[in-house]
Amino acid sequence: MTDWSRLTSRLAQRQQQQLMRQRNTIETAQNAEIVSNGQKLLNFCSNDYLGLANHPQVVAALQQAAAEYGVGSGASHLVNGHSTLHHQLEEALAAFTGHQRALLFSTGYMANVGVISALVDKGDLVLQDKLNHASLIDGGLLSGARFARYLHNDVVSLTQKLQQHQANQQLIVTDGVFSMDGDIAPLNEIAAVAKQHNAWLMVDDAHGIGCLGPNGEGAVAEAGLAGEDVPILIGTFGKALGTAGAFVAGDEVLIESLIQFARPYIYTTAMPPAIAAATLASLKLVQTESFRREKLKQRIHQFRSGASQLGLQLMESTTAIQPIVVGDTETALKLSQFLKAQDILVTAIRPPTVPTGTARLRVTLSASHSERQVNQLLDALAKACKQLKDTSSQLN
Ligand SMILES: *Cc1c(COP(=O)(O)O)cnc(C)c1O
């Protein structure tokens, strides 16, 4: 018998801290309404911000490409898995983001790990925002470069770290939109500081691409910056674009270096070409139809004004990510359960995903939500908060 005692004790500890994570199986497409365990739920926790994951044109593009190209790509990009569909998508993404070239990765996680570890090494310094996504942190650790974390969205703290540490090359890394808080990085200031210190700048815009900017180009365009102001741009397809995978955009030298040196690019099977075709279809919708971004903005506004009337503690977020910070894990879990009893799905986000003492309900809004559905959420939140008060006064 294998001795798993160290695992069983870690699992028991996690259970006891109420940090055990569980997967919900969903029985429908990703949508404003889903079915899970036979329960019909209003869905306020997907990253499908524009409602494209289930769009007929995106689905049709996938089906057509699968009929022509099959399902598996059959090999890595460098062997013979790089199809014309992958190539077309790369060219479209380069034009979309205002960069010379773009390179596809199978996931955003792999893109972040691959890019950071290909670009820096021992003797270099990676500077990261305290709230950066886990994949960026992991990339920094894997690279072997020295690591400094600056205070969240704090350019003064960033500048101090840049001055404190000597390094061959400094790489500044930030989320464009922060995934658990929903706020946007001060990219104008960060780009200026990067230039001033001759540091490289990498922005992971997983939550900005599709949603921000005049045509969905993301947080960089929203800030009024040009492509070249952010020389290393990461975008993902699994959120607003509604498909799967990721890209890096940059100039010739950057992309060629990644093709040569980014191990998560080299040593993995290329994404299915049909996914590239679906992403091309969805990119076209993002660029040409701005009504989804407008509708999303309206829902965000509606939710924020309704929630503040209820006295809920919102964060400084203008994006689709609207967390309600409640503090302790137990309260976050309870509220989430009370909402689920009213057929509303909002996940509780707990440490270690967020800092201790900042457990929250992470509400995400989508262009696929109707005004009525957001009102249903607000009504349910009001009830859930009252229920919470009633139960805690019983205990006291
Ligand atoms: C979701 C996310 C990723 C990971 O992208 P996947 O394609 O899901 O692997 C990377 N960075 C940020 C900021 C994210 O929110």
Chain segment 261-292, per-residue pLDDT in tens = 999 999 999 999 999 999 999 999 999 999 99
Q: Is the CB of 135 inside a 6 Å radius of any atom of ligand 1?
A: yes
The matching CATH number, chosen from 3.90.650.10, 3.30.565.10, 1.20.1370.20, 3.40.640.10, for 70-288 is 3.40.640.10
Per the annotation, the verdict on 239 as an active-site residue is yes
**Cα 40 from Cα 171, distance rounded (Å):** 46
Per the annotation, the verdict on 308 as an active-site residue is no
Domain with CATH 3.90.1150.10 in the chain: 26-52+290-395
Task: Quote the pLDDT of residue 394.
Answer: 67
Fold classification of 26-52+290-395 (topology level): Aspartate Aminotransferase, domain 1 (3.90.1150)
**Cα 390 from Cα 396, distance rounded (Å):** 10
Give the mutation target among 105, 112, 133 for probing the ligand 1 site: most ligand atoms within 8 A of CB.
133
The count of C-alpha atoms lying within 13 angstroms of the C-alpha of 117, restricted to the half-sphere facing its C-beta, is: 21
Domain with CATH 3.40.640.10 in the chain: 70-288
Which own/partner pairs from 357-360 qualify as long-range (CB within 8 Å, at least 24 positions apart)? 357/327, 357/328, 358/325, 358/327, 359/325, 359/326, 359/327, 359/328, 359/329, 359/331, 359/332, 360/180, 360/323, 360/324, 360/325, 360/326, 360/332
Q: Tokens 């040569």, residue?
A: 260
- Indicate which residue's Cα is closest to atom 10 of ligand 1: 108
Strand 200-204 with 170-175, pairing: parallel
Task: Quote the pLDDT of residue 274.
Answer: 98
Task: Quote the pLDDT of residue 352.
Answer: 86
Task: Quote the pLDDT of residue 37.
Answer: 94
Give the mutation target among 112, 175, 179, 236 for probing the ligand 1 site: most ligand atoms within 8 A of CB.
236
The ligand 1 atom at the shortest distance from the C-alpha of residue 175 is 13
Task: Quote the pLDDT of residue 353.
Answer: 87
Q: Is the CB of 206 inside a 6 Å radius of any atom of ligand 1?
A: yes
**Cα 189 from Cα 393, distance rounded (Å):** 47
Spans in the chain with pLDDT lower than 50: none
Q: Is the CB of 132 inside a 6 Å radius of any atom of ligand 1?
A: no
Task: Quote the pLDDT of residue 396.
Answer: 52
Q: Is the CB of 204 inside a 6 Å radius of any atom of ligand 1?
A: yes
108 Cα to the center of ligand 1, angstroms: 5
Q: Is the CB of 109 inside a 6 Å radius of any atom of ligand 1?
A: yes
174 Cα to the center of ligand 1, angstroms: 13
pTM of the model: 0.96
**Residue of 55, 207, 295, 340 with catalytic role:** 207
Six-digit token pair at 207?
A: 């939550």
Contact 118, 258 (CB under 8 A): yes
Per the annotation, the verdict on 297 as an active-site residue is no
- Indicate which residue's Cα is closest to atom 8 of ligand 1: 108
The ligand 1 atom at the shortest distance from the C-alpha of residue 239 is 1
**Cα 35 from Cα 101, distance rounded (Å):** 41
294 Cα to the center of ligand 1, angstroms: 24
